[in-house]
Structure 1
Amino acid sequence: MRHDEKEHFHLLERVINHSQLYIFVREINEEKDISFVSENVKNLGYLPDDFYSKKLRFQDIIHLEDRELVKDHIKKYSKKICVENFSLEYRLISKNGCTIWVEERSWIKKDDLGNPIRHKSVLYNVDERKRLENKMKETSKKFKAIADYTIDWESWLDVDGKLLWVNPAVKRLTGYSQQECLDMEDYPFSVIVKDHRNTVKNLLKAGIEGKITGNDLRYKIARKDGSESWISISWSPIFFDNEFGGLRLSIRDVTFRVKSDLVIKRLNDELKALNYSLSHDIRTPLHVISWYSDILVNDKKDKIDEESFKCIEKIKSNILYMNKLINDQLKLFMDNRKELEFKEVDLSLMACEIADNFIKTYNYIDYDFRIETDLKVYADESLMRVLLENLIGNAVKYSSKKDKPIIEFKKIKNESEYDGDIFVVSDNGIGFDMKNMDSLFTMFKRFHNEKEYKGSGIGLATVKRVIKQHGGRIWAKSKPGEGSKFYFYI
């Protein structure tokens, strides 16, 4: 070997010995098992001499469970005429007993007759990669288990709309097994009832072509046993490294919900009719009483003494109060049935309009309205007006006996678990005892004398319903004689 070749060889040897490559040359038809082993076998805790001296054979450091695999693989490729190299992954055992995954890439040298005489192998340490792969397999197995055992019927359609996977929940919802679904030519449309089939087809086609999401769309399915049930379909596009991979469908049985909605609608319609009927039946005698009271006052005034006149005035006053109760109850009922229309609402501007209306209508010029600017929410505008009219109206009413009434509307620092804005309407009025807090938002419940503070007792119940419709919360803090604060978020 020339000098430059020797230098090149030694350089290559040093590189190998400082790498994670282990090189073995095994003689197949001679007594000597190992004719060469790289020095870096020391990384496994062994010495090259352990193999040269035959203290160890190569198969001794192969994991017991993998020895037959390696032996069969070598035998298989040794017999092949054309194939002279192969690769295989298996485990080695280090001297201290640790398991190390390696990938063997081997070359089998043959004589002129095609008989194998030498087996050269380079072993790459792939232990870290293999452990990561195993970890990913375990994670994948867990995620698959989660998907398989969800209550919802889950499935995956490819970019052409063909079913790739469906979870076991499909059998509970439809009666069809996973395999039966995979064998369907037009899944899931063959399960959808005919009247809804084309609609669902067009929606999912648009979902695939536009890579768009759909949510909670209700349709009927025909189960395997012939029965029908209502389902809610939602879908979203799947992406792998920014490449579109189809749609994920999530389907749940909403039969009970649909039937409940129909029952609720029927009951609401009946309740609406009952409300109008009762209000009409009550208003009619009230109108009669009011009419006769007017006759007594206008036509028989000279024949009525002062005490009787006061009684008639009380009758008329209570008729007005009864009419207000009826109107408030109907309004509360209609507000509760209203379909919410969400948009950005400027609460500051709305509160200023309400305050200005109180000042102009009732001449409340002594009131000090302190309204913070730029208070905005995403909510139903008309219901926000109902909410603020009641809260500000109550604050005005119950601070009316103060020399300098102060009504304030602002946003406060949020120190609760809720991560949105918290608003407060406060006054310096008569306040109330917190022991009555549990019934504060109850319909027709009043804490103060009706003669001093007029009202129907329905305002805070209305506020509570508005807050509930928006998924929020309202609460209050107060002390008798020190005013009240009503906090809310939506």
Structure 2
Amino acid sequence: MRLTSIIPGSQLESEILTEDAFQRIIGLSSTLIHIHEIPDVKILYVNKEITEILGYSLEDLETMNRSLSGLSDNLFPDNFSGIFEELPDVWLREGTIKHKNGGTRYLKTRYTILKKAHGTVTEILGYSEDITEEKVLVERLRQQELIMTQAEVSMKFGSWEWDISTNKVVWSKGLWEIFGQDIELFELSYDSFISLLDFRDQKRMTECIAKCMQDHNPYQIEHSIIRPDGERRILMGKGQPVFDEKGNPIKFLGSAADITELRNTTRQLMNSEALLKEAESIMGYGSWELCLDTGKMSWSKGMFQLHELPENNFPTISLDEYLHHFIRQEDRERIKNACFDAISNHQTFHIEAQLITASNQQRTVILHGRLGEDEGEFPRRIVGSINDITQLRTYEEELEAKIHELNHSNQELEQFAYIASHDLQEPLRKIRAFAEFLQQRLGSKLTEIEFDSLERMRESARRMQEMIQTLLEFSRIGRVQQPFDSIDLSHTLQKVLEDLDEKINDKQAVIHVGNLPVVKAVDAQMHQLFLNLIGNALKFNTAQPRISVSTILTLHSGTKKYWQISISDNGIGFEAEYAEQIFTLFRRLNARFEYSGTGIGLAICKRIVEGHGGVIWAESTPGNGATFTFTLPVFE
């Protein structure tokens, strides 16, 4: 085998060129040239570029049995036998081949068939060009394009090109994603692009592009688009025209970014700032920030209003300057110390002080302050607010004055109650006693009308005494503070039933009592509550009374627990329209001659329940009894 010479008997042997001339021509080539015999594709000839490109020597080829097929899967077929008649005179293959150092090289090979004079195929000639750098560059460009595409999609922007002469528009991947159009179905042109804009922006965009071409200037415009799903997106578009040597526009290059979220966030921020300014103005407070690096304060709009200063027409001010100009002297040191504590101990402070405005008006304020969030080990700022509580303090003073007046009024009311319970009842007792004396003294001498008149006098005086006593009891509830104790309502109800034992026996009433809870309450008032409700159930009943007392646990306002206690009877009942009226003073639904009473009992029940933080209501239909329900808070 002669790897560096022409093979005797081959087509090359009959050519005009001498072997020496052929060798010199091949030597000038930087292309890997190799000749393979048919049919076993053994290498008959290879030039020195095999070493330059692949690192193999001629000796290496001998050890590889003069074949490169083992180094590549697709570049050097193992056997051309039987297919060369089907091949064109010249054909091309690209593929990878293993370098001697273990790396990979990319080769582009052109093959041609060598024939003898009578047409017999004898050899195959290959020209292999090393395209490794080209492939690496292409791959690098592909990766960069992929990264760019991913960046466009993730960051919601894209680029475009418009060829004015052909009206052809090209979009990058990012723009297709932004517009939500199908790249296979949507026919892209200048007109179709304009049609995708919000109708309110279409004319504005066409005028902007026309002016851009006329003035030879780039443009920037914010506009909206409508996606196929109907979603409206806001874009920031930029474009730059390209002109020929005569100044005629030939194409447009540009980009667009989806700024919908940015605009929404900006709009929300502006709304929040507007609401904050409005709240500061209405609520009388301002926000401030103290930069610890510079020692300077920055103010919100509310701060300028609070200090009666023109907005943003005020130089930056240090903390010491602020305290000196606007804070009463007695309060300055406390505020400075609070700021130092906030820095050293990360404490929040709330200090009441007197503020002096620019017009020398004094206001009572509360200063709130704390370190800025995420300040870390080395704080950079203190943030806070100032609330004007002047009006609040005025209200508090007025409230204290009203409380003083109320206490004085309560003292007078207690004095009146004493008079009512003693002095007013004394004449009534004498009227009853005098009427009884006349009845006993005159006896049979009285006519029936005279005796009945004296009896009416006694009864009226008795009712007046009872009403005065009940009114005193009603006024005492809620006015006279009594301690709350743990009260077992089962024991309370048992005492009430003992007090009503005679009435219960007279009417042969059947009373069923379920489990009752332990509550925090005034024992005497709970006794009065059950006495009135059970007493009414016995009174307003024409049959054998059947009374039931039950309890359930309920939730009010989602979280607070209440005991709900119901007392049901089979009495005469009442119309539903009176369910609220019966709890007002002196409201009676029945004539006095039918059912006795003062009309105050249920009003007392309502005041007792509400004084314990509960509510009371009634449900009934005439002839079917009534159910009175009240709630009491559960104390854990």
Whether TM exceeds 0.5 here: the answer is yes
Aligned to 1:328: 474
Between the aligned partners of 2:285 and 2:211, the Cα distance in structure 1 is 39
Is 2:461 the counterpart of 1:319?
no
Is the 1:433–1:480 Cα contact (8 Å) retained in structure 2?
A: yes
Which one of 308, 321, 324 corresponds to residue 175 of structure 1?
Answer: 308
Between the aligned partners of 2:455 and 2:465, the Cα distance in structure 1 is 15
Which one of 386, 389, 396 corresponds to residue 258 of structure 1?
Answer: 396
Structure 1, residues 13-42: CA drift from partner, whole Å, max 9, x if none? 223157139899xxxxxxxxxxxxx99589
Is 2:558 the counterpart of 1:425?
no
Q: Paired residues, what number?
A: 404
Between the aligned partners of 2:333 and 2:499, the Cα distance in structure 1 is 58
Between the aligned partners of 1:211 and 1:330, the Cα distance in structure 2 is 48
Which one of 531, 536, 547 corresponds to residue 406 of structure 1?
Answer: 547
What RMSD in Å do the two structures reach over aligned CA positions? 5.9
Tell me how far 1:323 sits from its aligned partner. Answer: 2.9
Between the aligned partners of 2:488 and 2:355, the Cα distance in structure 1 is 47
CA 1:99–1:432: 2 relative to 1, 3 Å: closer
Tell me how far 1:441 sits from its aligned partner. Answer: 2.9
Which one of 413, 419, 436 corresponds to residue 275 of structure 1?
Answer: 413
Q: Structure 1: where are the runs of 5+ without partners?
A: 25-37, 47-61, 73-89, 104-122
Which residue identity is paired with 2:286?
Answer: S
Tell me how far 1:148 sits from its aligned partner. Answer: 0.3
CA 1:149–1:65: 2 relative to 1, 3 Å: farther
Is the 1:147–1:154 Cα contact (8 Å) retained in structure 2?
A: no
CA 1:315–1:135: 2 relative to 1, 3 Å: closer
Q: Structure 2: where are the runs of 5+ without partners?
A: 1-128, 161-169, 177-187, 190-207, 227-232, 239-253, 444-450
Which one of 143, 167, 170 corresponds to residue 272 of structure 2?
Answer: 143
Between the aligned partners of 2:417 and 2:604, the Cα distance in structure 1 is 19
Is the 1:411–1:424 Cα contact (8 Å) retained in structure 2?
A: yes
Local SS of the residue matching 2:573: coil
Is the 1:91–1:99 Cα contact (8 Å) retained in structure 2?
A: no
Tell me how far 1:131 sits from its aligned partner. Answer: 3.7
Aligned to 2:589: 447
Between the aligned partners of 2:582 and 2:549, the Cα distance in structure 1 is 20
CA 1:293–1:39: 2 relative to 1, 3 Å: closer
Which residue identity is paired with 2:610?
Answer: I
CA 1:194–1:281: 2 relative to 1, 3 Å: farther
Is 2:136 the counterpart of 1:3?
no
Which residue identity is paired with 1:427?
Answer: S
Is the 2:323–2:332 Cα contact (8 Å) retained in structure 1?
A: no
Tell me how far 1:223 sits from its aligned partner. Answer: 4.9
Is the 2:297–2:319 Cα contact (8 Å) retained in structure 1?
A: no
Query: Counterparts in 2 of 1:332-481, with a 5 A limit?
Result: 332-334=478-480, 350-363=488-501, 368-371=511-514, 381-382=520-521, 391-401=529-539, 402=541, 403-411=544-552, 423=564, 425-428=566-569, 429-437=571-579, 439-448=581-590, 452-455=595-598, 457=600, 459-460=602-603, 463=606, 467=610, 470=613, 474-481=616-623
Between the aligned partners of 1:201 and 1:189, the Cα distance in structure 2 is 11
CA 1:445–1:155: 2 relative to 1, 3 Å: same
Tell me how far 1:334 sits from its aligned partner. Answer: 3.7
Local SS of the residue matching 1:149: helix
Aligned to 2:90: none
Between the aligned partners of 1:296 and 1:175, the Cα distance in structure 2 is 78
CA 1:351–1:188: 2 relative to 1, 3 Å: farther
Tell me how far 1:147 sits from its aligned partner. Answer: 0.2
Is the 2:525–2:608 Cα contact (8 Å) retained in structure 1?
A: no
Between the aligned partners of 2:332 and 2:266, the Cα distance in structure 1 is 38
Tell me how far 1:413 sits from its aligned partner. Answer: 7.8
Between the aligned partners of 2:311 and 2:406, the Cα distance in structure 1 is 41
Which residue identity is paired with 1:153?
Answer: G
CA 1:91–1:178: 2 relative to 1, 3 Å: closer
Local SS of the residue matching 2:583: coil
Greater Rg by CA: 2
Ranked by relative contact order (alpha carbons within 8 Å, sequence separation 6 or more), the top structure is: 1
Tell me how far 1:358 sits from its aligned partner. Answer: 0.9
Between the aligned partners of 1:10 and 1:262, the Cα distance in structure 2 is 87
Tell me how far 1:229 sits from its aligned partner. Answer: 5.4
Structure 1, residues 41-68: CA drift from partner, whole Å, max 9, x if none? 895879xxxxxxxxxxxxxxx989999x
Which residue identity is paired with 1:393?
Answer: L
Query: Counterparts in 2 of 1:194-213, with a 5 A limit?
Result: none
Tell me how far 1:165 sits from its aligned partner. Answer: 3.8
Identity %: 11
TM-score w.r.t. length of structure 1: 0.58
